[in-house]
Amino acid sequence: MVGPRLKTATLFVVIIALFVVVGGLVGEFIFGTWIAGLIVALSLSLVLNLVTYFFCDRIVLWSTKAKIVPPEEAPRLAKIVHELAPEFGLVDPRIAIVPTQTPNAFATGRDERHAIVAATEGILRMLNDRELKGVLAHELAHVKDRDVLLMTFAATLAGAISYAAQIVFFSMLFGVGGRRGSVNPIVLILALITAPIAAMLIQLAISRTREYRADQVGAFTCGDPEALADALQKLESANKAKPINVGSPAQSSLYIVNPFRGGSFASLFSTHPPTKERIRRLRAMRTDYQYRPNVRGPALRSGSPGRPSRS
């Protein structure tokens, strides 16, 4: 089975290649040189996504109405995060509470020094300590792997491809360009229609891959895949029954399960992998391990075929 890291790297290679092709076509069509299209499209997307990257924690807190709280205001949440953080080699992130009864959690912040782990009021009510630990381990795995940076990079490339398509559309509309280049108009139009869709699908696939990775690393580190599996089962049912009432669907990838259920979409267009498959993979991890109390992490069974890949 291809590991999450290899799959993420492969998807990034594909989206970079897609950007180079589209940017080159745009540059040839408008500026007469392929490099100009790459520079213009990338610059537009880079500025927007850099702002998002550096201010993502503030933007997310504002839009979700989450409030950063001192440990004494959320002692249970603070205690579990404090116990888990060293297991991931992290300093204690700030903690926040989201004022909604829909059970969910997310992590944000561009690096571990700016990290925030947020939990809704509902998840603190619904999950027991063992399940909550599994969820928070998943979120700390996102922080450890710097997934905010990875997804910002993916969004930048996908955005650049979209901007390139828009540049050509408006150029055609106003009769700009199209004289100096040697691009076949039919090829150009097909590329501009399909490329932004393909880029979006790749971006979503990267998001799903990172969720699988965070499940694996979180469960491996806390030593109890069943805890996260049990939590996901509860969260999926609760979020379907009562979608979250704060924030925007554009932020669905932040949460451990999709909290917005405004319509029915194919799994291809989802920011999260199917919860049933996530649960199946987590429960399968249990066959390779035995669990002993007061032992840091899972211990390998004698005769086991080996540990799940951390790649």
Catalytically active residues are 139
Print burial letters for 93-126: b (CB count within 10 Å at least 16), e (below 16): bbbbbbebebbbbbbbbbebebbbbbbbebbeeb
For helices 225-241 and 275-285, angle between their N-to-C axes, nearest 10 degrees? 160
Print burial letters for 216-246: b (CB count within 10 Å at least 16), e (below 16): bbbbbbbbbbbbbbbbbebbbebbeeebbee
Report the amino acid identity of residue 288. D
Residue whose C-alpha is closest to residue 216's, from 144, 306, 282, 304: 282
Query: Computed over its alpha carbons, how large is the radius of gyration of the chain?
Result: 22
Under a CB-based contact definition with an 8 Å cutoff, are residues 193 and 94 in contact?
A: no
Measured distance CA(276)–CA(214) in Å, rounded: 16
Measured distance CA(220)–CA(231) in Å, rounded: 16
Residue whose C-alpha is closest to residue 228's, from 239, 249, 212, 251: 212
